A = this chain, B = another copy of it.
Amino acid sequence: MPGNTFGKILRLTTFGESHSECIGGVLDGLPSQIKIDNELLAHDMQRRRPGKSSFESPRKEADEVRFLSGICDNKTLGTPIGFIINNIDTKSKDYAALKDVYRPSHADYTYHKKYGIRDYRGGGRASARETAARVVGGALAKMFLKESKVRITAFISQIGPIALKQPYYQHCPSVEASPPLFCPNIKTSHEIEDYLKVVEKEGDTVGGTITCVVSCLPPGLGEPVFDKLQARLAYAMMSIPAAKGFAYGTGFEAASMKGSDHNDAFKVVKNKITTSTNFSGGIQGGISNGQDIYFDVAFKPVSSIKKRQVTIDVEGRQKVVSIKGRHDVCPVPRAVPIVEAMTALVIADNMLLQKRFL
C-alpha cells in the first residue's frame, strides 16, 4: 500500500535514505534455481554508479551489493532475496546549511507537508540514491529473462537540444560501444559531451530522453483493462526520479496521424505472424504482439544547480541558495540502467503472471 514496493508476483521493496547506513531491498517472487550472473549485476551497477565522468556527481560509492538471503550455491532458492548497498561517502555536513531551506523544485517542501518530518541529509528518501536498489532488482529480473532470450536495451536519445534522428532499431546493436554516454551514435555522443561541458561550466544542468527497446518477447503478455503492458511500463518509468513523460510506439506523434497510416498490417513471414510496420510499439490492447516494444522517457534537468537561486525557508523567509552538494549535470546518463531495470521488473512480472494460463 505505501509506495515502496513494485510489482505483482515479482515484488521489489526498497528501503534506505541517501545518508542512512545503507540502502537496500528485498526481491520476492523470483523463481527458484535461477543462476546468479555476477557480471551482469556488476555491469549494471557500474553504469549507474556516480563519479565515472566529470558530468556525474563525484560522490564516491563502490556500490558493492551484499546479498543477505535467498541464494544458495549461487542459485536462487525461490525465497526472498534481501540485499544491501552501503552508503560510504556521505557528507551530511554539506547539507546542514540547507536543513531549513526548501530548495526550488526539490522534494523538501512536499515531504515536510506529507510527513511533518524529513531527513534533510542528501535528500533523504527522495534522493536518487534509492535507484541503486532498483538496479539490483532489475539485474535479478534480467537473469530470469535470459532464459527466455528476452533482450532489454536502453540508450540516450536526446540531451538538451541534441537528439538522435534515426529510428530506434538502427541504434540497438551499437549501444554498448559508447560509454560513458550510452548514446549509440558516436558523432552525437561527442556533440553531447561538448555540450555537457559548457552546461557544467555555467553551473547549470540539463534534461534529456532515454529510449528503451524490448526484443524477442513472446506475444500474449500483459493484462487487459487497467494493467495493460504500456500502463505498467508508464507506471514504472514515471516512478524514476526526474521523469516527466512517457511515450511508446508512435507516442505523441500519433495525435496527428490518421488510422490508415498508423495501423500495422499483419502478415506471415516464414510461418510466423508479424506486422509490416510497428507503429503500435509491440503492444495491442495492452498485450504484447511479439514485435519490439519501444518507448521514450523524458527527464527534466537536475534541480540542484550551483547558480544562485531565490527561495524560502521553513518559516517562509526569503533565502538565496547556491547548491554545493554533489550532483549530476544531467540525470540521463546514469538513468539508462535504471530504465532497463524497471523495464526488466515489469516484463518478468508479466511473464510470471502469464505462466499460469499456459
Contact = CB atoms under 8 A, between A and B. Distances in A.
B116 A225 contact: no
Nearest to A235: B235
Contacts of A72: 17, 117, 119, 124
Interface string A172-216: 000000000000000000000000000100101111110000000
A260 interface: yes
Given A3-B228, A130-B225, A125 B9 contact: no
A254 B207 contact: yes
Interface in A237-281: 237-239, 241, 243-252, 254-268, 271, 273, 275, 279-281
Contacts of A20: 68-70
A333 interface: no
A69 B234 contact: no
A284 interface: yes
Number of copies of this protein chain within its complex: 4
Contact of A355 (B84, B158, B199, B356): B356
A82 B80 CA distance: 14
A56 to B, nearest CB: 15
Given A69-B23, A114-B220, A286-B107, A244 B237 contact: no
18 contacts: A4-B80, A9-B356, A17-B69, A22-B82, A72-B117, A77-B118, A79-B124, A102-B273, A109-B289, A110-B289, A111-B224, A206-B257, A226-B236, A244-B254, A254-B298, A262-B301, A263-B303, A268-B312
